[in-house]
A = this chain, B = another copy of it.
Amino acid sequence: MAAPHSESVQQVRIALGDRSYDILIGSGLLAQPAAWDALPVASTALIVTNTTVAPLYAAKLRDALSARYRSVFQVVLPDGEAHKDWQTLNLVFDALLSHGCDRKTVLFALGGGVVGDMTGFAAASYMRGVPFVQVPTTLLAQVDSSVGGKTAINHPLGKNMIGAFYQPARVVCDLDTLATLPQRELSAGLAEVIKYGPIADTGFLDWIEANIDALMRRDRAALAHAVRRSCEIKADVVGQDERESGLRAILNFGHTFGHAIEAGLGYGEWLHGEAVGCGMVMGLQLSRRLGLIDEAFVQRVTTLIARAGLPTVGPALGAERYLELMRVDKKAEAGEIRFVVIERPGQAAVRGAPDALVRQVLADCTR
């Protein structure tokens, strides 16, 4: 960053060689010129947002960017996971081409995980790659999806099946935007915050337990710490394994079960974070049945998930349907489902599991 930030702005660096970038975390960042300096030079910027976020924050972002870019265009997508498809993505390409945007144009993803994933994939693909900036406005996007360069759209046969590893030029997390977040989405974001405890940091798990009520009532300092520590852990993992050849997969704890829930119910029925919350309970139960962790730890984390307002029991899709949906998970190899399990509190691994054991877990955790 060229200009100094006020003391309240925190910075987390994602170290990826010439693809390195900073995550800025703080209050009022949308209106802070320093948050937008030193970005790639271009004549044109395109803000990609959705129908929910646009009326709240798009004007503020456009004001901030108009000092830097001669033309600032905007495209407003329909809101929700159900629209994370090619048809909606094409609205971004239509906007880019109809405004004559060139290969230096910078895209800004203003919204939650869906907007971020789609904008990132659009940036990766438009003219074979233009720069983009993540401006996450949901807790889930701030602590997880905006960081690390995973971009994608869904295919009717599987979630996030079409996409790219493509890093943003910067991530700007304005904590003020969390004020307008529906409580259900706050909870969904907390699922990804809680996730970092069992897979990487029991000290952070202790902290979340002690502060879950503060987080639920959106205490600014508690949110700031949760976002920062989550980003630090994610930065550390992604810095070691950008393209998920190994370690990075642990960030998908709860996601194999969770994706099956989302796909089985139809995208958008449960929020992604809700499915992950419930999926973590299943992942914990599987880890226990594999003899890796004890029941007390399972209960401890399950209780925390419940206190975050998240479901801990899955929909009764039937074990066969769950297994079928999980076989198209990206971690699967030659038809074998691979699960993220907790080896011991604070450490995760990726491995297969006998179908019979998975059926038991599903029987226990669904109704």
Contact between B330 and A125, CB atoms less than 8 A apart: no
* Residue from B93, B127, B330 within 8 A of A127 (CB atoms): B330
Determine the main DSSP class of A at the interface with B.
Answer: mixed
Provide the residues of chain B in CB contact with A244, threshold 8 Å: 128
Per the 8 Å Cβ criterion, residues 83-108 of A in contact with B are 86, 90, 93-94, 97-98, 100, 102-104
- Provide the residues of chain B in CB contact with A94, threshold 8 Å: 157
Does A152 sit within 8 A of B, measured CB to CB?
A: yes
In Å, the complex CA distance between A161 and B101 comes to 11
Per the bound structure, the CA–CA distance linking A98 and B155 in Å amounts to 11
A184 to B328, CA, bound (A): 43
Q: Is the CB of A125 within 8 A of B162?
A: yes
| A336 vs chain B, min Cβ distance (A) | 9
Is A259 an interface residue, CB under 8 A from the partner? no
Given known contacts A102-B334, A335-B100, is B86 in contact with A164 (CB within 8 Å)?
no
User: Does A129 count as interface, using CB distance less than 8 angstroms?
Assistant: yes
How many copies of this kind of chain does the complex include?
2
Q: Which residues of B contact A150 (CB under 8 A)?
A: 128
Please report the total number of A residues contacting B with Cβ < 8 Å.
Answer: 38
Question: B97 touching A155 by the CB < 8 A rule?
Answer: yes
Q: Among residues 323 to 367 in chain A, which have CB atoms less than 8 Å away from a CB atom of chain B?
A: 327-328, 330, 332-335
Query: What are 17 A-B pairs with beta-carbon distances under 8 A?
Result: A44-B334, A86-B86, A86-B90, A93-B162, A94-B157, A97-B155, A97-B157, A100-B328, A102-B332, A103-B333, A124-B164, A126-B162, A127-B161, A128-B151, A128-B163, A128-B165, A128-B243
Add 18 more A-B contacts to A100-B335, A125-B162 (CB < 8 A): A43-B334, A44-B334, A86-B86, A93-B155, A93-B161, A93-B162, A94-B157, A97-B155, A97-B157, A98-B157, A100-B332, A126-B161, A128-B150, A128-B165, A128-B243, A128-B330, A129-B164, A164-B164
